[in-house]
Amino acid sequence: MNNLAIAAYGLRKSYGDKVVLDGVDLSVPEGTIFSLLGPNGAGKTTAVKILSTLISADPGSGDIRVGGHDLTTDPQSVRAAIGVTGQFSAVDGLITGEENMLLMADLHHLSKVEGRRTAARLLERFDLVDAARKPASTYSGGMKRRLDLAMTLVGTPRVIFLDEPTTGLDPRSRHNMWVIIRELVADGATVFLTTQYLEEADELADRIAVLNNGRIAAEGTADELKRLIPGGHVRLRFTDPAAYRSAATTLPDAARDDESLALRIPSDGSQRELRYVLDQLDAAGVEADELTVHTPDLDDVFFALTDGVRVPAPTKVAAR
Amino acid sequence: MSTLALTVRDSSTMLRRNLLHARRYPSLTLNLLLTPIMLLLLFVYILGDALGSGIGGGDRSGYLAYVVPGLLLMTIGSTVIGTAVSVSNDMNEGIIARFRTMSIHRGAVLVGHVVGSVLQSVASVVLVGAVAVAIGFRSRDAGVLDWLAALGLLALFALAVTWIAVGMGLVSPNAEAASNNALPLIVLPLLSSAFVPLHSMPGWFQPIAEYQPFTPAIETLRGLLLGGEIGHNGWLAVGWCVGLAVLGYVWSTSRFDRDPA
């Protein structure tokens, strides 16, 4: 087993009466990508803020170690080991991209020559050479995000926190960001990634934890999580409200979506189960206007875990 | 590197950042500089005759001499309003969150603001002073030491009100609020001996005007540059400066150390 880059036990944080994190355990082995997945307001950003020393955890929390250093007793050593790129860009908009990079080099106490070299190398790598002499406030969203990450990498951090790094980016910029994130791990860094996009977590992460209402609802590899919902579902859509209602009575297991007149029936997609559904519909004399079979994807897991309807939370997939 | 060396290095990096901002966006600095120069011209050329005879100093040039020390301090007051605004703006920038997660000296961001602001204040004071000399202000037998002492007092005063302004910037949610919160720094000189002597004010108000931070500093400057009695004003001025600087420092750093929202 590798050493842990991040180990947090019983992470708690509340603002007044509002509990944001309610006892979260996290362990991330070195050199892996860990994704914290959850809907807006689940507490993802709060977790990043605590782990990156920006805010303090509540006193009831257990031990938290990042990069091998204790977060409470030795925050400066943690800071020396990490890099953070937040959801909102952390660049100085008043100065140019290059000046932002040199500012980081100075704050990491690189020599002048070394600082210039590092800045030039990263500007090149992130395709920012042409814009280097322009004020960062004039950059597009994708450029700002790249500059932001480039600044984070000046200090060659061993643990990198990326808080929703692709939120608000167009598809091409998102894919570019994915390529960059994979390169970071190839270079030996550990990446802690938060996202609300299942596709992103599925694509990148070695392990995924689903955060909902301040608790980890499930944790595992993408495949392990998908196995939580054994068979995906069959979706039936109707145009006739009367047919929809009688189908709903015939199939009491179905989750109803009254707005779009659709039913979701848990199913493993096998011929036998499918025939059962069709037989039931035939017997009731209703015909669906559309029938689709969904094999399970992370979306199903996500909805199941975060609305608490189909799978009782919290569920923990045994770590292997 | 030792802690002190780190502090100096990180703070000077932050200072360079602030000076870069000031150089790129000089309009704020220039606007704040314009106010004391306008006031200087207004009080001397438009109100000077009446006010001059009112203080018993006689003419316009007498009033010029009377009003310059107060206006130099007012220049500082108006420069640090810019400090409060830029600190407040800065705190709303994402980059401050980045600084907080980096292994740099904690206070470097604030020290950078303070040193940058004091340098700006001193530069503004020199500029306003030059305008005053250009329109006829002359010191009366002030030696080199007197001038140095005057400049030292102005720098110390700038340091003190800058730390207060930094605290005001930190507690203000936005630039407008910061500028409003810092308003006392430009109103207080109006309630001092800057423009009219204390004895011309209502009796009940005189103690307030006499012991507020600006009056002792103004009277000390008058003593240094124009001759005359400094008396207890010197110690009072230095005491105010040190007290305000310490208060502002403690206030600002404890505010900055709090978890950001």
A83 burial level (CB within 10 Å; 0-12, 13-18, 19+): buried
Residue A309: which pLDDT band, with cuts at 50, 70 and 90? very low
A233-295 domain in CATH 3.60.9.10?
A: no
Express each pLDDT in B118-156 by its tens digit. 999 999 999 999 999 999 898 887 889 999 999 999 999
CA nearest neighbour of A83 among A158, A29, A31: A158
Count Cβ atoms below 10 Å from residue A307 Cβ, excluding itself: 13
Do the chains contact at A103 and B17, CB–CB below 8 Å? yes
Residue keyed to tokens 């009219």: B196
User: pLDDT confidence of A228, banded at 50, 70, 90?
Assistant: confident
CB contact under 8 A, A53 and B100: yes
Average of per-residue pLDDT across B82-89 = 92
A interface test, pick of B10, B28, B102 with most A CB neighbours within 10 Å:
B102
Q: What is the pLDDT of residues A20-52, one digit of tens each?
A: 999 999 999 999 999 998 888 889 999 999 999
* A96 has a chain B CB within 8 A of its CB: no
pLDDT tens digit sequence for B144-192: 999 999 999 999 999 999 999 999 999 999 999 999 999 888 889 989 9
User: What's the average model confidence in pLDDT over A266-280?
Assistant: 82
Cβ neighbours of A88 in B, within 8 Å: 94
Indicate the pTM of the whole model: 0.81
Above pLDDT 70, what percent of chain B? Answer: 98
Q: Complex ipTM, two decimals?
A: 0.86
Residues of B in contact with A55 (CB under 8 A): 259-260
Homologous superfamily (CATH) of A4-91+139-227 is: P-loop containing nucleotide triphosphate hydrolases (3.40.50.300)
Read off the amino acid at residue B30: L
Please name the member of B13, B103, B260 whose beta carbon is closest to the beta carbon of A106: B13
If you average pLDDT over residues A61-72, what whole number do you get?
93
Q: Nearest 5 degrees, angle CA A104-CA A115-CA A85?
A: 30
Residue A88, pLDDT score? 72
pLDDT at residue A52 in the model: 94
Measured between CA atoms, the residue of chain A closest to residue B96 is A90
Please give, rounded to a whole number of angstroms, the shortest distance from the CA of B90 to a CA of chain A: 9
Residue A80 at interface with chain B, using a CB cutoff of 8 Å: yes
Interchain CB distance below 8 Å, A76 and B103: yes
pLDDT of residue A253: 81
Contact A292, A234 (CB under 8 A): yes
* Residue A155 sits at the chain B interface (C-beta within 8 Å): yes
Q: Encode pLDDT of A174-211 as tens digits.
A: 898 899 999 999 989 999 999 888 888 888 999 999 99
Kindly state the percentage of chain A with pLDDT values over 70: 91
Q: Do A84 and B21 touch (CB under 8 A)?
A: no
User: What's the mean pLDDT in B222-238?
Assistant: 90
Q: Which of B25, B98, B102 sits opposite A94 (nearest CB)?
A: B25
From-to residues of CATH 3.30.70.100 in chain A? 233-295
Q: Which residue of B has its CA nearest to A103?
A: B13
Q: Which of residues 46-75 of A touch B (CB under 8 A)?
A: 52-56
Task: Tell me the pLDDT of chain A averaged across its residues.
Answer: 87
The pLDDT value given to residue A286: 87
Which residues in chain B are closer than 8 Å to A95, comparing Cβ atoms?
17, 20-21, 24
Determine the Cα–Cα distance for residues A37 and A197; give it in Å rounded to an integer. Answer: 8
Q: Which residues contact B119 (CB under 8 A, 6 or more apart)?
A: B19
**pLDDT value of position A41:** 82
Q: What is the pLDDT of residue A311?
A: 39
Which residues of chain A lie closer than 8 angstroms to B259, CB-CB? 54-56
In angstroms, the CA B54 to CA A283 distance is: 107
Could you tell me the pLDDT band of residue A318, with boundaries at 50, 70 and 90? very low
CB contact under 8 A, B17 and A95: yes
